[in-house]
Amino acid sequence: MSRNVLVVSSAESGLQIERTLEACSNLEALGLNCLFATEDFDRLGISASSNSESKKFLDQALEIVLVLGGDGSILRAAELSRAQEAPLIGVNLGHIGFMSEAELNELEVVIAAIDKKAYKVGHRVALEVQVFEGSEVVFESWALNEVSVEKSARERMLEVVVEVDSRPVSSFGCDGVLISTPTGSTAYAFSVGGPVIWPDVQAMMLVPISAHALFARPLVVAPDSELAIEVLKRSPGAGVMWCDGRRAIDLGPGSRIEVRKSNKPVSMAILSDAPFSDRLVKKFALPVTGWRGPESAG
């Protein structure tokens, strides 16, 4: 049975493209078969190869997904491989690359781990979302990071009411509302004032964006809770809903957005047992000068 690796790369510079193709050559030398999404062919120069058709990813069974890029590339890879169980492993070509498991100078280590299957598989909470117009479902999708409901026009706020487990909690005018996973807590939700949630916590978070309200604080709820956002019929502005910034639908007054934890998590390959605290400090360059640590016994 073929050992298929889907390679998703955001490489743009000549060096990055070279490293991507070199990684594929090394994987294929080890007996693995590298596949690519169609949109990556021209940019990576793969279409000129004689066996380019055999490299197209057309829902073949995958062993793993290798992502060379930033967090946006990981979100794209998760979308491409959503129908499968293959774990994702990221090599950072971006700025922060919070979800990446390794940096570019560690690419050889990642290739060796893929070859020997020397990795653990963790499972990240994902969200399912439905949009209703009246009683009709007009849109269904999912998200790894967040579902964002945002105003469409800069000059008009969005009037919403938020709901937890079929009960209203607060209504307010705002620029938008985010519903985030723990994975997404270090992304968009973090930039609008949400707390960081450790990735192994099973939870969802709701974060208002620039709300005009006395009570518009982030809420963290249980994984079996159901969250909803209704765009009030009196809302002066329309809105748009995004899933991970990749899939969207326009919202009018009266739209209802329901979000719950998905039964299908996103699998991520893990190479290191280092605690999440270390990743947080490293990626955000947090100051820890003066830390002494716990007193050693005796």
Which residues does the annotation mark as catalytic? 71
Report yes or no: 67 and 77 within 8 Å, Cβ to Cβ: yes
Please, which residues have CB within 8 angstroms of residue 173's CB and are 6 or more apart in sequence? 157, 158, 159, 160, 211, 212, 213
Report yes or no: 126 and 181 within 8 Å, Cβ to Cβ: yes
Token readout for 30 is 């080890």
Report yes or no: 232 and 174 within 8 Å, Cβ to Cβ: no
Amino acid at 220: V
Q: Cα–Cα distance between 46 and 38 in angstroms, integer?
A: 10
Nearest to 127 by CA among 171, 176, 78: 78
Q: Cα–Cα distance between 112 and 102 in angstroms, integer?
A: 13
DSSP state of 93: -
User: Strand 219-221 to strand 204-209: parallel, antiparallel, or no bridges (unpaired)?
Assistant: antiparallel
Amino acid at 57: F
Give SS3 for 78.
helix
